[in-house]
Amino acid sequence: MICERDDFSLTGPLHLTAIDWANEQHRRSVTASLVQGIYVAERDRQLQRDGPELALSPIWSEFFHFRLIRKLVDDADFSIFGGIYEYKPPQQHPSQELIPRYVIAFRGTVTKADSISRDIELDLHIIKNGLHTTTRFEIAIQAVRSIVNSVGATNVWLAGHSLGASMALLTGKTVARTGVFPECFAFNPPFLSPPIERIKDKRIKHGIRIAGSVITAGLALAKKATQQHSQNQNRLALPAPPDPFTALSDWFPRLYVNPGDHLCSEYLGYFEHRNKMEELGVGFVERLATQNSLGGLLVDIVGGGMNTEGPVHLIPSSVLTVNWSPARDFKEAHGIHQWWREDHRFETKIYKYNH
């Protein structure tokens, strides 16, 4: 029995018969569909839907003239977690410079027996700020670097949903730190924080955020002082390394969040609170807090850790798109399908990190 969500003819954006690559809605819809194509490719594998007559994944990309040229396979469970798409139009497009030559897409967690345990393991690595230590990330970043080195970052887009959004952001961060900024489309990216955004009273919510910023900034200063003391004890007169967070301030990944999805809704407060702290004249506190995770700092200070990678979810600048249309439940609010719907109300804001 075919799952309706896998069938492009039933749930895909059939209305996009002509793509305007300058249109944000079209770009969002195409990249979300390519991510869905990776989900379906993995379900094709698990359900043994092989060949042109049975496989449901190809139409999710071929409808937009993309071809899946390589599947990214996890080395632990052999699941398909990502893929490299190449744009193959039947003829030259008049806006060719706006179209990516390649899109590298990553799926999120698949709740099937053949992949659920490995995917949950990766989810836990996100919580522990250890996604960059996994072999799945190594496979992903090698693929991204290979394509970027071959055709340049301007010809490559990264895209992902949920766990895959974290992978897209992490590979994007890694490449961006070299001074080149690939387009990145992160759908429902996890933000590791208590769901403060769900508090209805704005004063209480704002008060909690201010308290959290002060505590986080204080712990960040304590961690920095501990590191400097350790260096002095070891007589290491090393120059201060460049701030990896500030180095990403000119990179604007596109984040897509739904207020009804508690896994990503904190991005709303994360960026808006930073603006409010600037207005209050205490932006220096927030500049420290915004690049640190409270949980991560506690682990580092108590455990003596020196993790310089930084939490995946903390981003200096972004183009943030919010789906304000009410969702029936968490599953709908977290789903990938919402991002190509025509009847939803989207709002986009640009946030620039001032350092």
**Span of 5-14, 144-153, 195-204, 334-343 with lowest mean pLDDT:** 195-204
| Average pLDDT of the segment spanning 310-328 | 93
pTM, two decimals, is: 0.84
Identify the pLDDT of residue 243: 74
The neighbour count for residue 235, using CB atoms within 10 Å, is 6
| Average pLDDT of the segment spanning 12-30 | 95
Which own/partner pairs from 285-290 qualify as long-range (CB within 8 Å, at least 24 positions apart)? Answer: 285/213, 285/214, 285/217, 286/213, 286/217, 287/354, 287/355, 288/216, 288/217, 288/220, 288/221, 289/212, 289/213, 289/214, 289/216, 289/217, 289/220, 290/314, 290/316, 290/353
Instruction: Find the length of the chain.
Output: 355
Residues 196, 204: Cα–Cα separation, whole Å: 9
| Average pLDDT of the segment spanning 210-236 | 51
Name the average pLDDT for the chain.
84
Q: Tell me: pLDDT of 139 over 60.
A: yes
**Span of 126-140, 157-171, 299-313 with lowest mean pLDDT:** 299-313
Tokens encoding 194 = 């208590």
Tens of pLDDT along 248-296? 999 999 999 999 999 999 999 888 877 665 655 544 544 555 555 544 4
Identify the pLDDT of residue 270: 86
In which band, very low, low, confident or very high, does the pLDDT at 91 lie, cut at 50, 70 and 90? confident
Identify the pLDDT of residue 294: 45
- Sign of torsion, CA 331 334 336 338? positive
| Average pLDDT of the segment spanning 83-111 | 90
Q: Tell me: pLDDT of 32 over 50.
A: yes
Identify the pLDDT of residue 303: 45
Q: Which of 1-5, 32-36, 231-235 tops mean pLDDT?
A: 32-36
